[in-house]
Structure 1
């Protein structure tokens, strides 16, 4: 790029019309990435009373946009310390190509984000919301997405015949779960629950509409729905559905996010495809980041997030945001207890560095307690709230 700018400047000088470097057209291709580190403390982890520190993610990203043709791809590598499982993995986060039309609408083909509910995220904190761990936030599948032009009314429509697929990881990970997005996946005998379930998501259709109202469109109200099939690996397809309503609004530095989502997974599991004596059709196996876990087959997810943008700077630091993100999974199965996640935190930045300071409180949650199966049935031994502290620093380039 420096060479190109120099040549343009030289050509302008020879022609008698100097061209400033800042006037040179920007390249439609950009390459970037990030490397992130975490300190984590878990209240239930006696082996690491002082917590632990290590690499979280290294990633490489490529974007292209010349006004008409566009695309984006990102690949990630994770290596977690022993306190976090002591494993590594790599996967394609997303990868798609697309076209922008004269009315500013777009079509994307490839591994792209599911537009369901609040977008692009239903959270402010680093670990997102319970919707993420149930497969309804920050999720990417393989297919075609149509996005309307920007405006007071917007809509998106996507069809995804397949999920994002599985990639590579260490010998202590479950192969089908080496991915970023939480999908319904085949269980694993060694690193999972040994249920013998072999489900996979297929033919997912998602439609979303949102209205932006008020001065500057500061209030957004939306509705979205999902329909798809579950291939159980035994020649039987069943149905799955979800519907969500959401609101996003701002009043000065205060911002609010609200969402309610109901989902239902129809299953056709055999009597032996279970664990712990549970009804085999009362849960499905979801997997990502190396491991699968059971999630209630029917439930409601409610999200309520509030944040405050703190003005000003403190030395080299700025973009301060204080937030509290609350989410709950209410399972519509008798005997299955609610899963709760609350995150109070602060995010800020300095140049290319980004920071999160999160205090997490929850129960019946595989990332917030020793209750690995907590998003489905759970033991009374895990009824109390547990805590997790996460301090993260990331360098983005």
Structure 2
């Protein structure tokens, strides 16, 4: 066989072999494609199942979201209503129930009983804000009278300035009190401490170390000279009449008088000594008219210089001033009324007070705080030449949860509620007093 024949035969045999191998590869490829197609179909079926399943899940989720949204909407409405209620009806109600024990040197019957325990007062307080207007009230129920101590609305009309209208505090002297004890200072009994009258005040809060309080009061808290017929049933002491020489010290006045158109002003500058030390130095002025129900019956006024210093745990108060009631009937005495009680007061006098207190934080059972104090006050240089009125109170107040208690030992001369009168000529008297209050 020639070389060409051999070569031709080899090519033919190779071609046959390649064709055989190609056929086998094609069958294998077709089988793989078929298997792949089956796998893809299975995957598509699986994806379809997953899609259906996910659609169901999405639908369920959508329904749940709808339910949650509905609940959320309802909750927002409730919350909004609650917020609105808090804003429009944000009035807090509190108060106190107080009892008083006392024994003294001027009542022998009380001494024989080793003192007396009496119900003092049930008190309701309102405070809060409605639509940016603050509400403040103090209503008191004694066993012998019911009174409103104060009831006024407040509004901050610009930053740092607030107006108050109603039975509002009269800005005069150290505030809020020129005293530490249950008995206040001697000034209270002539109407120049913790006094409230019907009118309007404008108060500048502390800014740049200055405070300012201005007030105009149309008349006293019971409506002035033609107000309540029970003129001595009130919390604050005010003039209620002129005292004739033929009348007794504690008699109702035969000639009735009342305050009207009173202007009051107090300015205070605060000096900062350090981190826990500051002193308020201030001046107060007061001027108004007196009316007998038909015509003007005179005028009155008062002034005071006052200092209130807080140095760490110590509080030191000083106040000095004068008052002057110029009555058209030339009387040198007038009548004040409060707590179902009348007293006679010299028409002109000088007042001085000096008080010291120390605050102590304690952890003794329910007791968390104790304040020790000594308050001294005197009214002197009286226009009727009557003897000086003075009072010294040594005591302490104790805070124990909702309980607040005063323990006071009072020595005084010619002092109301301590066996005397402002125009008295009596002896020095003593009283031991415990006042227990539950505050809520």
Q: TM-score, normalised by structure 1?
A: 0.83
1:65-107 Cα offsets, whole Å, 9 max, x none, are 258211211110112xxxxxxxx00111111112113413100
Check conservation: 1:191, 1:291, Cα contact below 8 A: no
Q: What SS is found at the alignment partner of 2:417?
A: coil
> Aligned pair 1:320/2:375, yes or no?
no
* 1:304 and 2:354 aligned: yes
Equivalent of residue 361 in structure 1, options 393, 396, 411: 411
Unpaired runs of at least 5, structure 2: 1-70
Task: For 1:244 and 1:347, locate their aligned partners in 2 and report how far apart those are by CA, in whole Å.
Answer: 27
Greater percentage in helix: 2
CA contact 1:187–1:285 (8 Å) conserved in 2: yes
CA contact (8 A) 2:240 2:337 kept: yes
Of 146, 150, 156, the match for 1:90: 146
CA distance in 2, matches of 1:257, 1:289: 27
* Alpha-carbon distance, 1:232 to partner: 3.0
1:41 match: 103
Tell me which structure has the larger Cα radius of gyration.
2
- Matched residue, 1:263: 323
Change (3 A) 1:147 1:195: closer
Structure 1 contact 303–328 (Cα < 8 Å) conserved: yes
The offset of 1:349, in angstroms, is: 1.1
Conservation of the 8 A alpha-carbon contact between 2:382 and 2:388: no
1:171 paired residue number: none
Deviations 1:27-70 (A, max 9, x none): 62111111100001121100111110011010111112258211
TM-aligned CA deviation for residue 12 of structure 1: 10
CA shift in 2, pair 1:193/1:331, >3 Å: farther
4+ residue stretches of structure 1 with deviation over 6 A?
12-15, 24-27, 187-191
Structure 2 equivalent of residue 5 of structure 1: none
> What is the aligned partner in structure 2 of residue 177 from structure 1?
232
- The offset of 1:204, in angstroms, is 0.8
What CA RMSD, in Å, does the superposition of the two structures yield over aligned residues?
2.6
User: Which deviates the most, 157-166 or 300-309?
Assistant: 157-166
Aligned length: 352
1:208 aligns with 2:208: no
Residue pair 2:286, 2:303 contacting (<8 A) in 1 also: yes
Higher RCO structure, 1 or 2 (CA under 8 Å, sep 6+)? 1
Aligned to 1:229: 289
For residue 138 of structure 1, the aligned residue among 156, 180, 194 is: 194
Q: Describe the SS at the equivalent of 1:393.
A: strand
> TM-score, normalization: structure 2?
0.75
Unaligned runs of 5+ in 1: 1-9, 80-87, 168-173, 270-279
